[in-house]
Chains A and B, each alone.
Chain A
Amino acid sequence: MFESFDATMLARMQFAFTVSFHIIFPAFSIGLASYLAVLEALWLWKKDEVYLELFNFWKTIFAVTFGMGVVSGIVMSYQFGTNWSVFADKAGPIIGPLMGYEVLTAFFLEAGFLGVMLFGLNRVGPRLHFFATAMVAIGTLISATWILSANSWMQTPAGFAVNEAGQFTPVDWWAIIFNPSFPYRLVHMVLAAYLTTAFVVGACGAWHLLRQTAPRRSRTMFSMAMWMAAIVAPIQILAGDQHGLNTLEHQPAKVMGMEGHFESHPDGAPLVLFGIPNAAEKRIDYAIEVPKLGSLILKHDLNAPLAGLDTIPAELHPPVAVIFWSFRIMVGIGFAMLGIGLWSLWCRYHGTLASDPWLHRAAVLMGPAGFVAVLAGWVTTEVGRQPYTVYGHLLTANSIAPIEAPAVSASLLAFIIVYFFVFGAGTFYILRLMARLPRDTMPELDEGPIRTAGVAHGPASAKSHGAHHGL
């Protein structure tokens, strides 16, 4: 199956596969952790049981998601060494400390307080418990910050020198962390995580509204998710536009590939809506274009000249077909999200938010859309960085470990089998947990050990709370 691939190609496939699986979980858990913190804050503030019920419901789903994120993340932290050891040696002095700070400031925070959040409500009391939930949520955001900084540095490296051993050495940490594309990437990714979660929560709420079970909980959940969609989707489109301008400035070849501009356009570039990229002939077949619109979007000027891939040596072109499509998928989903958000506002205005079955059906359909958009976005930015690992400075082909193709293909095969089995099961359990919401009892499974009474530790008020809710 893998005979035709060399070790570099196999290692790239393995990285793409493991990182694609991994990114799904943080995209969900960043949003979900913040959602949990909001729910618990609302419960403490308004004393309305519906928020605690929703908190407990999503907490269980968060735990499963977080578990999958942890184990798939550990794989990532070792893969730089096993498959990309030359990259690790050369870029380690810069990427390493950024990831080191992620572990020190985020991972320990999340992991340390996760146990308290999941198991500790009647041991520490509601206020300390909320603190733990907030720490977990903040941890996920700090983690995103460092990882996006490290990734952005690989895209738009700054603040470094190269020593005699060929290592990138830090010169200015401020410039490294706040490299030119970092703010755009961070905002775009965090908003994407919030939108992804909003659409999962919204789909779950809509599903139960359609089945008319537990209407109050479903309505609250659906309404919160739709506010998120209506507010964040337009902001995300603006952020994406700004990120695109930044990319054009620092990684023009990536934008040329995304937009399908094989040729330069000296007097205004069209926007290619659709078409089939033909890398061999260096053109877009069957292109549907809007004249001048490309220049308008990218340069905010109808007649601005736009350079094409013909200005760059062919061996430095990114794989155009891949990023041309992944970019369109991401943008298409972004506008569909905006559509749902606006639709929900219209329904809300007319008082039919909880009763319009077509909106609910559309929301259920859009449930997984965030994940697809996040994946498509990462494919666009990561494949668009090729053929470099550190843009403009270190080629992917020169980053690979001295490994042999059979070793990489064997481990790739092992990861594929294990991931599909393990994460397939996880997805199944999450979907089943979501489907079980509407019972009036707590969402816990019958077969888990249901706590019957409080434990001896913690304040008495918390104990009675826990006992009351069957925690």
Chain B
Amino acid sequence: MDFDLPLIWAAIIAFAVLAYVVLDGFDLGVGILFPLFPEKHDRDVMMNSVAPVWDGNETWLVLGGGGLMAVFPLAYATVLPALYAPIIAMLIGLIFRGVAFEYRWRTKRAEFLWNWAFAGGSMLAAFAQGIALGALVQGIPVENRAYAGSWWDWLTPFSIVTGIAIVVGYALLGATWLVMKTHGDLAERARAIALKCCFATIGAMGVVSLWTPFLDPVYLQRWFGWPTAIFSVIVPLLVLGCLYLLIKGIRDRHDVQPFIAALGLFILGYIGIGISFYPYMVPPSLTIWEAAAPEESLAFLLAGALVLVPIILAYTGYAYWVFRGKVDPEEGYH
């Protein structure tokens, strides 16, 4: 039996990126919400709620990037130059907020600085990721195995909107995470913020979803042509279901349900993008098969990935299990 290796790898890379988006999404979201919680004690708890896991979360980004170079080198080599400025901005944002996890505890006098680094870095990284997503959706021209557009193509009204949508969406993930992981007044305020972010996120998703089909006739055909139009009924219905569970979970003061429902929203949005993209790796220029590395590379890495990804998921799950439950405000190794 023949395996369609490029397609399998497209699914694995898609999974890695999704894992990154939902995992780093909530810890970036905690950073985005930092300015709304001015008290030091709240901020200590917020940071400690993600401190043991953020590093693992961010590793999915490295797998997404490194994996893309390994199995879709042509996609990697054309998308990254096209997104030069947002990628650099994202990296700088991630630098600032990554070091803030340690530096913030090392100084009293400069603590405000690292609070800003954490909040600002998280916002910058999230916004840049949203812009990159928007730029990818609106299309990247490729000629002769190289990016063929200009340097500011990524900057459009559409990409700004997707940038804002990601910031708001991550804030929702962060707020529902805090509802799940914290006690008392902090959790109460997170609940109120989660409700607001929920409406903002669904609004932003709506705008992006209605805009996307008109960017490219392929997308339009995909969403409103037969038989694929089935998706454009199912996906929004499921979105509404998640939205209901999310709002009800917040109103009924559930701890876990809002976070799970918010993850559901993200996964559905992601599936929506996937439906629009298929079979492209770099729309509208490169299909999955055109962008793929030689068979030998795909097979070699797949052998490892099939064994290692389940192991990774197992010990990542274990690490989350070790730190399960509400954050103890007194806890931290600092």
Contact = CB atoms under 8 A, between A and B. Distances in A.
B88 A411 contact: yes
Interface in B192-232: none
A21 to B, nearest CB: 11
B52 A120 contact: yes
B126 to A, nearest CB: 15
Contacts of A234: none
B63 A120 contact: no
Contacts of A93: 70, 73, 293-294, 296-297
B52 A116 contact: yes
B231 to A, nearest CB: 31
Nearest to B57: A111
Interface residues of A, number: 84
B18 interface: no
Interface string A447-468: 1111111010100000000000
25 contacts: A59-B333, A60-B333, A60-B334, A67-B102, A70-B98, A75-B95, A81-B68, A82-B81, A85-B81, A88-B80, A97-B70, A99-B70, A103-B63, A104-B308, A108-B56, A114-B56, A119-B52, A119-B333, A407-B151, A411-B88, A414-B92, A418-B95, A425-B103, A449-B334, A455-B328
Nearest to B71: A96
Contacts of A453: 330
Given A97-B297, A401-B77, A425-B103, 20 more contacts: A78-B91, A82-B80, A85-B81, A85-B146, A89-B74, A96-B69, A97-B300, A100-B69, A100-B71, A102-B66, A112-B318, A169-B296, A402-B146, A403-B81, A407-B84, A407-B151, A415-B92, A429-B106, A445-B106, A449-B332
Interface stretch (B246-254, B256-264, B269-277, B309-317): B309-317
Contact of A63 (B68, B84, B102): B102
B284 interface: no
A185 interface: no
A257 B322 CA distance: 54
A86 interface: yes
B241 interface: no
A112 B313 CA distance: 10
Given A67-B101, A107-B59, A115-B52, A78 B65 contact: yes
Contact of B319 (A64, A100, A113): A113
A124 B318 CA distance: 11
Contacts of A452: 330
A190 B55 CA distance: 24
Contacts of B296: 93, 169-171, 173
Interface string A64-83: 10011011111101101110
B300 A173 contact: yes
Interface in B290-326: 293-294, 296-297, 300-301, 304-305, 308-309, 312, 315-316, 318-319, 322-323, 325
Given A70-B55, A71-B98, A100 B65 contact: no
Contacts of A78: 65, 80, 87, 91
| Contact-residue size bin, chain B (C-beta under 8 Å from the other chain) | 35 or more
Contacts, number: 269
B85 interface: yes
A418 B92 contact: yes
Nearest to B105: A448
A289 interface: no
A170 B297 contact: yes
Closest 5 CB pairs of A and B: A92-B73, A96-B70, A81-B80, A448-B334, A115-B52
B158 interface: no
Given A64-B102, A112-B319, A75 B96 contact: no
B236 interface: no
A170 B52 CA distance: 38
B42 interface: no
A448 B107 CA distance: 9
A101 B304 contact: yes
Interface in A150-173: 163, 165, 167, 169-171, 173
Given A74-B94, A111-B58, A104 B73 contact: no
Given A77-B65, A96-B66, A403-B84, A70 B58 contact: yes
Contacts of B147: 85, 401-402
B328 to A, nearest CB: 5
B99 A67 contact: yes
Nearest to A68: B99
A109 B316 CA distance: 9
A248 interface: no
Interface string A104-133: 110111111111101110011000000000
B102 A170 contact: no
A323 interface: no
Interface of B: 44, 48, 51-53, 55-56, 58-59, 61-63, 65-71, 73-74, 76-81, 84-85, 87-88, 91-92, 94-96, 98-99, 101-103, 105-108, 110-111, 145-147, 151, 293-294, 296-297, 300-301, 304-305, 308-309, 312, 315-316, 318-319, 322-323, 325, 328-334
Interface of A: 59-60, 63-64, 67-68, 70-75, 77-78, 80-82, 85-86, 88-90, 92-97, 99-105, 107-116, 118-120, 123-124, 163, 165, 167, 169-171, 173, 401-404, 407, 411, 414-415, 418, 422, 425-426, 429, 432-433, 444-445, 447-453, 455, 457, 471
A179 to B, nearest CB: 15
A320 to B, nearest CB: 32
B151 A404 contact: yes
Contacts of B328: 455
B106 A64 contact: yes
| Residue from B59, B71, B78, B328 with most neighbouring chain A CB atoms (10 Å) | B59
Contact of A75 (B59, B68, B73, B91): B91
A119 B87 CA distance: 31
Contacts of B65: 74, 77-78, 81
Interface centre among A93, A109, A432, A433 (most CB of B within 10 A): A93
Contacts of B111: 447
Contacts of A449: 44, 48, 329-332, 334
A108 B77 contact: no
A257 to B, nearest CB: 30
B78 A85 contact: yes
Contact of B331 (A88, A124, A404, A451): A451
A78 B77 CA distance: 10
Contacts of A115: 51-53, 55-56, 319, 322-323
B66 A119 contact: no
Given A74-B91, A426-B103, A448-B334, A103 B304 contact: no
Contacts of B304: 100-101, 104-105
Contacts of A77: 62, 65-66, 69
B293 A96 contact: yes
A124 B322 contact: yes
A81 B79 contact: yes
B331 A455 contact: yes
Contacts of B146: 85-86, 401-402
Contacts of A402: 81, 146-147
A63 B312 CA distance: 21
A165 to B, nearest CB: 7
A64 B107 CA distance: 13
